[in-house]
Amino acid sequence: MLRGGHFAAFEEPNLLADDNFSNFVQYTDMFVVFQSASQIGKSFLALIKRYTLTQVTMSLVKIIFLLNLLLAVIIGILWKYGHKLQPESELPPLKDNWWAKEAKTNFLADDKVHPFKISVSEKVLDDLKSKLQNARYSEPLEDAYFQYGFNTNYLKEVVEYWKTKYNWRDHEKTFNQFDGYKTQIDGIDIHFLHVKPKNIPLLPLLLIHGWPGSVYEFHKILPILTTPRENSSFGPLEASQTFDKLMSRLGFNKYYVQGGDWGSIIATHTALYFPKRVNGLHINMAPIATKGQYIKMLLGSFWPSVLVEDKDYNKLYPVADKFIEALSETGYMHIQATKPDTVGVGLNDSPVGLAAYILEKFSTWVNPSYKTLADGGLTKKFTLDELLTNVMVYWVTGSITSSVRFYKECFLQYHLKIMSHHFINVPSAIAAFPQELFFCIPETLAHHQFTNLVQYTNMPQGGHFAAFEEPNLLADDVYSFVQKVEISKIKK
């Protein structure tokens, strides 16, 4: 077309109408073409009939045999040498980042670490109450439950609880029971918790949360990780750089790092860029990343038993089913990776909308089968207080828009390519939870990316929010991994 855009019938009705008439004439002409093609097909069949059935059969057998032989040779070559298709290149150089609006030359730098207590103003809480009181709802489809997203019938119950029973001040105290701090790094304020264990050797562990989780995810696991145990010596790029600077500022020259969701990707980048400082990497989300892994996954779809054991089959196969499952749960990702500020405006203005958007993930990301339940299974692993406190972290800070921007800034740059083109050489561990949202690589594929895989654990239960859902299982796995690494150091 000469002009016009997406809304063709609205913008250029005459052009669109003319084109429809033109297509009608073309279809009439195509009918004649199809009739001619039919005659050609009949002539071709007559030609084939000149050969005997035996000759045709033998020719087909030979062709099929040769094709299978060729396929077997190609598969054998790719299986053995596929990983060499992705030679390791140099890491992209680290930049001198600056994130403040004010120019660096005019900025009053402060590299001190300041104690910080969370204290949300009454004005913010009063505004929240007003918005909750005047919320508007759309009616859900009958018996749709969570299959179309957050069911608004149950959302009304959640909001009623939020208005009448939830007490932010109680959970503010939960945050403040841990030592909180703020510091400026590269022009932005970094809020973090620095929890020190008592009466046990100190081995620094950097915990990194993901989205739509928050630092509140760790309120269950922090006491576990900082409690002495018998017979144990516990001990995406700019973020990893910032966190490494944080660990340096805290006086840690070497440390362990653990993460899930975005935390796993940031932690992996940290291990890539600072291998001399990272004692070990522990992640509970390990998606397929390298070309070698993708090749073997696809080849394994023909003979799964060659690649994975029966117990690991459901982690990758059937590939088509896994792809459809991932596609059905990643609509949010496409929005946030392209137009984060658009969705951010609505979520930042409506506490009810924000709750629906975030809490829906704590249904299907914990267990996909929960979408057939009227309440989305939200309280099977969490209390409403816990879930709403996580929502409140985004509401009282007004940070939902900046949090979803992380997707656009990552996907449109080279961050994910770094993981796919480089191997992780530091001691590593993977905790594979059965209901993890994305492809969870089996141990047989993990070695393609993690050259020093010390530990791989198939967890008995749990989903995407491991630290929030199964803090004891995750803490046990971290302890076990750190202990193995520390023992290996002594042996050396």
State the first-to-last Cα distance of the chain, in angstroms, to the nearest integer. 71
Annotation says 407 is catalytic: yes
* DSSP SS3 for 428: strand
Residue 116: exposure state from Cβ atoms within 10 A (0-12, 13-18, ≥19): middle
Residue from 407, 422, 427, 455 nearest 256 by CA:
427
Taking CA 261 as the corner, what is the angle to CA 259 and CA 262, rounded to the nearest 5 degrees?
Answer: 80
Name the burial class of residue 289, with classes exposed (0-12), middle (13-18) and buried (19+) by CB atoms within 10 angstroms of its CB. Answer: buried
Closest to 126 (Cα-Cα) out of 396, 407, 429: 396
- 257 phi and psi, to 5 degrees? -140, 140
Assigned token pair, 182: 């703020």
Determine phi and psi for 481, rounding to 5 degrees. Answer: -65, -50
Angle between helices 384-397 and 351-359 (to 10 degrees): 130
Which two structure tokens, joined as six digits, stand for 299? 């080849």
Instruction: Compute the residue count for the chain.
Output: 492
Do residues 416 and 290 lie in contact, with contact meaning Cβ atoms separated by under 8 Å? Answer: no
Left (φ > 0), alpha (ψ -120 to 50) or beta: where does 138 sit? beta
Instruction: Please tell me whether residue 190 adopts helix, strand or coil conformation.
Output: strand
Whole-Å CA distances, 404 to 218, 283, 347: 20, 22, 11
To the query of whether residue 261 is one of the catalytic residues in this protein, the response is yes
Joined tokens for residue 209? 């949360």
Residue of 312, 407, 422, 448 marked active site: 407
Nearest to 442 by CA among 324, 258, 307, 323: 307
Element (DSSP H or E) covering residue 259? strand 255-259
**Dist CA 24 CA 21 (whole Å):** 5
Catalytic residue among 261, 269, 421, 456: 261
Query: In the structure, how many helices (H) and strands (E) does the chain have?
Result: 23, 8
Active site residue 448: no
Residue 207 in contact with residue 185, Cβ under 8 Å?
Answer: no
Largest separation between any pair of C-alpha atoms in the chain: 91
Q: Which residues are catalytic?
A: 261, 407, 464
